[in-house]
Amino acid sequence: MTEFRSGFVCFVGRPNTGKSTLTNALVGEKIAITSNRPQTTRHTIRGIVNRPDAQLILVDTPGLHRPRTLLGQRLNDLVRDTYSEVDVIGVCIPADERIGPGDRWIVSQVRQMAPGTTVLGIVTKIDRVGPEQVAAQLLALSELLGPTSEVVPVSATSGEQIDVLTDVLVSLMEPGPAFYPDGELTDEPEQVLMAEFIREAALEGVHDELPHSLAVVIEEIIPREDRAPEQAPMVDVHAILYVERDSQKGIIIGHKGARLKAVGTTARRQIEALLGVKVYLDLHVKVAKDWQRDPKQLRRMGF
């Protein structure tokens, strides 16, 4: 009988290299928020892959970057702590983009911060290019990481090679017990996931100035007591979207509130899927001037 294996995995790479999408594909549920905006991920969300022979805990960190604000500094500290605690670091490089200085910088940071940790190369988005380009990228990534690192091609969108990647990750783990009960997909509190879903919906299709400036705080979650027995249960969720300037508030709300309404509709569907009940989602937008640079405000928003 094969020994049960378990361990922690963290995916790294430049923004928009498919890290969060990969986490979601491996877990089989939407756990990490995905967006083409740099620095979308704010919390270390763990997805859990359960197999009869293994358990993988996927740690989704904010991207490592050169910080410009106190928030940026704290996000980088979070990444450093994570690197030193995981068993495998997967370096993600898209198949359709050349390896550049940003990728080399990230690999050098990984080697520096976690010198003893196993590094695995992952070529993502292989559904976007032909086999020759995939082969060339595998070779380039292998040269960048060196002979001790395996390299695996995957497409999180089409699901191609996801099983192969899971097998490789399991093979790199030490024998050990399951860390979480079978059936659990994440250890994040529901409140954190709800805030992330709202943030993701608000970031969809907005200008570059907004991502860093947007924080979401769930104020209250109140079950409806007045439902008749034949009615499905319902929950009221009250959330505040904080931005740094009045102009950003206008962007989030949109013309006659249309944008905020669309954000609410998208986020509500995801929160209903998460909680398994009907949800009334109440969103308000507030300005908290320069909150990213203010330790007191950062604490209030959970950073």
Count helices and strands (H / E) in the chain.
Answer: 9, 9
Res. 217: pLDDT tops 70: yes
Class of domain 190-301: alpha beta
Residue 153 assigned to a binding site = no
Query: Residue 145: which H helix or E strand, with range?
Result: helix 131-145
Cβ distance 241 to 201 under 8 Å? no
pTM exceeds 0.75, yes or no = no
Tell whether residue 50 is among the known ligand binding residues.
no
Residue 18 three-state SS: coil
Superfamily of domain 5-172: P-loop containing nucleotide triphosphate hydrolases (3.40.50.300)
pLDDT tens profile 258-269:
888 998 898 998
Q: Highest-confidence range of 41-45, 184-188, 191-195, 298-302, by mean pLDDT?
A: 191-195
Is position 125 annotated in a ligand binding site? yes
> What's the rounded mean pLDDT across residues 101-123?
89
* 229 annotated as a binding-site residue: no
72-76 contacts, C-beta under 8 A, 24 or more apart? 72/212, 72/292, 74/298, 74/303, 75/39, 75/42, 75/303
pLDDT digits (tens, 9 = 90+) for 132-187: 999 999 999 999 999 999 999 999 888 899 999 999 999 999 998 887 766 555 55
Cβ neighbors of 195 (< 8 A, separation 6 or more) are 216, 217, 218, 239
Q: Write out the two tokens for 116.
A: 């003893």
15 is in an annotated binding site: yes
Beta bridge partners of 241: 216, 285
pLDDT at 64: 59
Domain boundaries, the chain: 5-172, 190-301
CB 200 within 8 A of CB 31: no
**Is 19 assigned to a binding site?**
yes
The answer to whether 295 is a known ligand-binding residue is no
Which residue matches tokens 């993988």?
56
| 249 annotated among ligand-binding-site residues | no
- State yes or no: 61 annotated in a binding site: yes
> Is 18 a known ligand-binding residue?
yes
E strands within 23-162? 45-51, 54-60, 88-94, 118-124, 151-153
Annotated ligand binding at 62? The verdict is: yes
3-state secondary structure of 214: coil
16 labeled part of a ligand binding site: yes
- Residue 290, CA distances (Å) to 33, 42, 163, 212, 215 in order: 24, 17, 44, 11, 12
Task: Establish whether 23 is an annotated binding residue.
Answer: no
